[in-house]
Chains A and B, each alone.
Chain A
């Protein structure tokens, strides 16, 4: 019986996936899929990749949020509130300048490497800050992000890449076609890794001394965790741009509803992120039809509202 809610949730997500597959500027229905080869081609080249990218990107951001929250022991961190995404953007920009026409795979490598460096810088800075309230940590992260993005903007403006940067930051899924989203599958491996390592991340988050006294190699676990975050953030940033707040609001909402059981929450986190992502994408596609607003922008607005509500709720609960 305990499985039933999860089953229902899965069905919901599948319904959303189906909706995403069959809604769009080019009319495709089930019958056309079997009779019209042109429609089938369209479907496979554009709709399927787009929907898969949505699913995978959502899972990636949710998972990297969860890992960061465990490692830092703070509810409010995720790649966009720790500057990690901004570092990924800087990496891509530099690569674009140094190696014009670099392959997407190379871009992802650069983005991931910079995201990793960024996450490291964030952790080092955090380790040196005395006062670590739940609220100060993300402020510091965002400040770091602002610093990196100032550098990015400066470089972009002096090389006339500013608008390309804006285009690419707000990303979206409309340009995803077969052949450029496949690296997102790496996210699958990360989800599995997280499921296996969840307990270790939690212990590592309690600090070096606790981890060591429990016999865990602290450095190695932190390293693995950061690699996972960097890969997820880097790949997602290159394929679909910044996805703000997703990795932050979904894990928090799930633990509000179900308590803090990381492993048990994981399926719910992934399912809800996917559902939210697809819903935002559908809203963005339908609201100004036939134009579209990128899902990332819809999510940014929605996520900000939910995030603020969460902060205020935390304040209401806090003593003193």
Chain B
């Protein structure tokens, strides 16, 4: 279980987040949604200990992520940001192998190699494994990053907008693969999604942020209601039942 208590992030005089508290139970897919500047990324990066909170604590399965040994945290939780700039030219396989670093410290064992192979298979990257990252399309590269995070073999996987730059087909595939990671591999997936309908279709829970606070947090069924979404996104939203799932309509 991820538990965050009184998290605040302040830049100068601006409070961009908090104070927020909450918990994300183990297992399943949890989506963070909210308007621009609501603090979704800030919260996710603080939980993933990529940023320090101004105050507050985050524990994951009882491990205080900001105080525990970084290596121990890296075996419990993995986190992927939107933008990744590499100076080195690496192949897909090399990138995914980096995911084993917390376990092997760079010297791959046979077990590590198996994990890397499995992660490549899981995201259908077998044919691309010897290609360099800069030779891939945006969607393929995104898959390679996710494969690295899966190879890390942590219980918790945090992803900041994994659908960014993906077209319709690749977005659907990515979400289906993350869903499978939760169902078949028992991962706890926490991700930021821009499209509320994607969140509803693939998640178990939704946490909505607005103005640096948690505006609402519940199961998908409870969240996909017109009055909740209208309030969160500050724009009129209607809910229609389409093919048995609740779909938000807000285009006009």
Contacts and interface: CB of A to CB of B under 8 A. Distances in A.
Interface of A: 131, 316-317, 319-320
Contacts of A316: 12
Residue of A131, A316, A320 with highest tally of chain B CB at under 10 A: A320
B251 interface: no
B11 A131 contact: no
Residue of B11, B14, B85 with highest tally of chain A CB at under 10 A: B11
A131 B85 contact: yes
Contacts, number: 8
A316 B51 CA distance: 15
Nearest to A318: B11
B128 interface: no
A317 B85 contact: no
Top-3 shortest CB links A-B: A319-B11, A317-B12, A316-B12
Contacts of A320: 51
Contacts of B51: 320
Nearest to B16: A319
B139 to A, nearest CB: 21
Interface of B: 11-12, 14, 16, 51, 85
A319 B16 CA distance: 10
A316 B11 CA distance: 8
A317 B11 CA distance: 7
Contacts of A131: 85
Nearest to A320: B51
Nearest to A316: B12
B79 to A, nearest CB: 15
A131 B14 CA distance: 27
Nearest to A319: B11
Majority-rule SS of A interface residues: loop
A316 B14 CA distance: 12
B47 to A, nearest CB: 16
A128 to B, nearest CB: 16
B87 to A, nearest CB: 10
B147 to A, nearest CB: 25
B41 to A, nearest CB: 9
Contacts of A319: 11, 14, 16
Given A317-B12, A319-B11, A320-B51, 5 more contacts: A131-B85, A316-B12, A317-B11, A319-B14, A319-B16
8 contacts: A131-B85, A316-B12, A317-B11, A317-B12, A319-B11, A319-B14, A319-B16, A320-B51
A141 to B, nearest CB: 20
A139 to B, nearest CB: 15
A6 B94 CA distance: 63
Nearest to A131: B85
A319 B51 CA distance: 11
B225 to A, nearest CB: 33
A317 B14 CA distance: 10
A319 B12 CA distance: 9
Contacts of B85: 131
B149 to A, nearest CB: 21
A34 to B, nearest CB: 58
A131 B87 CA distance: 11
A320 B16 CA distance: 11
A17 to B, nearest CB: 40
Contacts of B14: 319
A134 to B, nearest CB: 16
A195 B200 CA distance: 56
A22 to B, nearest CB: 46
B214 to A, nearest CB: 21
A316 to B, nearest CB: 7
B82 to A, nearest CB: 12
B49 to A, nearest CB: 15
A131 B83 CA distance: 13
Contacts of B11: 317, 319
A195 B12 CA distance: 35
A287 B151 CA distance: 67
B81 to A, nearest CB: 10
A224 B51 CA distance: 45
A108 B159 CA distance: 58
Nearest to A130: B85
B192 to A, nearest CB: 15
A317 B12 CA distance: 7
A197 to B, nearest CB: 35
Nearest to B87: A131
Nearest to B85: A131
B42 to A, nearest CB: 9
